[in-house]
A = this chain, B = another copy of it.
Amino acid sequence: MATGDGRVQVGIVMGSDSDWETMEATAERLESFEITYEVQVMSAHRSPKTVMQYAQSARRRGLSVIIAGAGVAAHLAGVVAAHTTIPVIGVPVPSGSLQGLDALLATVQMPPGVPVATVAIGGARNAGVLAAQIMALEDSALAARLKEQRSKMAANVAEKSKKVERSTR
Contact = CB atoms under 8 A, between A and B. Distances in A.
Interface of A: 1, 6-8, 14-17, 20, 27, 30-31, 36-50, 52, 59, 64, 71-73, 75, 78-79, 81-83, 85-87, 89, 94, 96-102, 104-123, 125-127, 129-130, 133-138, 143, 146-147, 149-150, 153-154, 156-158, 160-161, 163-169
Contact of A81 (B45, B108, B111): B45
B137 A46 contact: no
A163 B17 contact: yes
Given A1-B138, A102-B105, A168-B31, A160 B121 contact: no
Nearest to A35: B168
B106 A126 contact: no
What is the predominant secondary structure among interface residues of chain A facing chain B? Answer: mixed
Nearest to A156: B46
Contacts of A71: 111
Contacts of A136: 85-86
Pairs A-B, 9 closest by C-beta atoms: A117-B117, A41-B161, A115-B126, A73-B109, A38-B167, A45-B114, A106-B106, A102-B105, A115-B130
